[in-house]
Structure 1
């Protein structure tokens, strides 16, 4: 679906602050409240807006994030997907092109739990290689 400039602005505003009221958005995009409400509903119905979330404050030193880059030989998604789904600390997982088959973002409370997840992944079927990338700082979070 192609988004016009109003839809693009509405989405950008909601990405920045999902709690913005329809009135606030309508003032910023110069459309009526009903037009903005209709556009938001259409964007949700068409899957352009897939949800809203809140960011929570992390406790310094108790919130560890990392990416795991996984390669499989061969990759059989039907075997891997249930394992991804059963690990609640996995916050994002993307099958990607190139030398890496799956990139996984995890957020854990301790290095011990990060190690446990890494050890569990070593047992996943057809795993060929895992590379761990520790997150040092957030550059942007939307």
Structure 2
């Protein structure tokens, strides 16, 4: 979104309902936000074109696909060049086990969410995929107990 777009209360309502259920039909969405279908569709298309709505996807249940074990990795890399950073980010983003990667400010460089079957699978992931990456300096792992929200 290069130019900041002004969003009104109806735009916010559209975004709220689509975040809750991206499969809503235009008819259902229009009803929920108090519009008729044609203006609702125009607003959704505008929000898509302006980059406010970046896309639609299915949110998978990690447990249902055998990935019961969620770990947040705090990763520090040796950022000696832009090339190392770009290679690291591309490699990590390509791993199936990784569901989120965020570069952050502070003492660490990345927070990475990893969803795997169990502790043994995580150990293999860390040893076989993460540590061999160029630039990895340190990894601190935080296995989670439960999802609250």
TM-score by length of 2: 0.82
Task: Tell me which residue corresponds to 2:26.
Answer: 22
Q: Distance in 2 between matches of 1:11 and 1:110?
A: 35
1:63 aligns with 2:68: yes
Matches of 1:46 and 1:122, distance apart in 2: 39
Find the counterpart in structure 2 of residue 44 from structure 1: 48
Distance 1:66 1:113 in 2: 11
What does residue range 95-106 of structure 1 map to in structure 2 within 5 Å? 95-106=103-114
- Unaligned runs of 5+ residues in structure 2 are none
Q: Secondary structure at the match of 1:83?
A: helix
Deviation at 1:123, TM superposition (A): 2.2
SS at match of 1:51: coil
What do residues 95-119 of structure 1 show as CA deviations (whole Å, max 9, x unaligned)? 1111121111111123222112211
Distance in 2 (alpha carbons) for counterparts of 1:61 and 1:80 = 26
Distance 1:2 1:139, change over 3 A: farther
Ranges of 4+ aligned residues in structure 1 off by more than 6 Å? none
What's the RMSD between the two structures over aligned residues? 2.0
Deviations 1:19-46 (A, max 9, x none): 2221222122111211111111111122
Comparing 51-60 and 40-49, the one that deviates more: 51-60
CA distance in 2, matches of 1:86, 1:23: 37
Alignment partner, residue 129 of structure 1: 138
Count of aligned pairs between the two proteins: 140
In 1, Cα distance between the equivalents of 2:90 and 2:73? Answer: 17
Unaligned runs of 5+ in 1: none
* Displacement after TM superposition at 1:60 (Å): 9.4
- Mapped to 1, the partners of 2:12 and 2:121 lie a distance apart of 40
TM-score for both structures, normalised by structure 1: 0.86
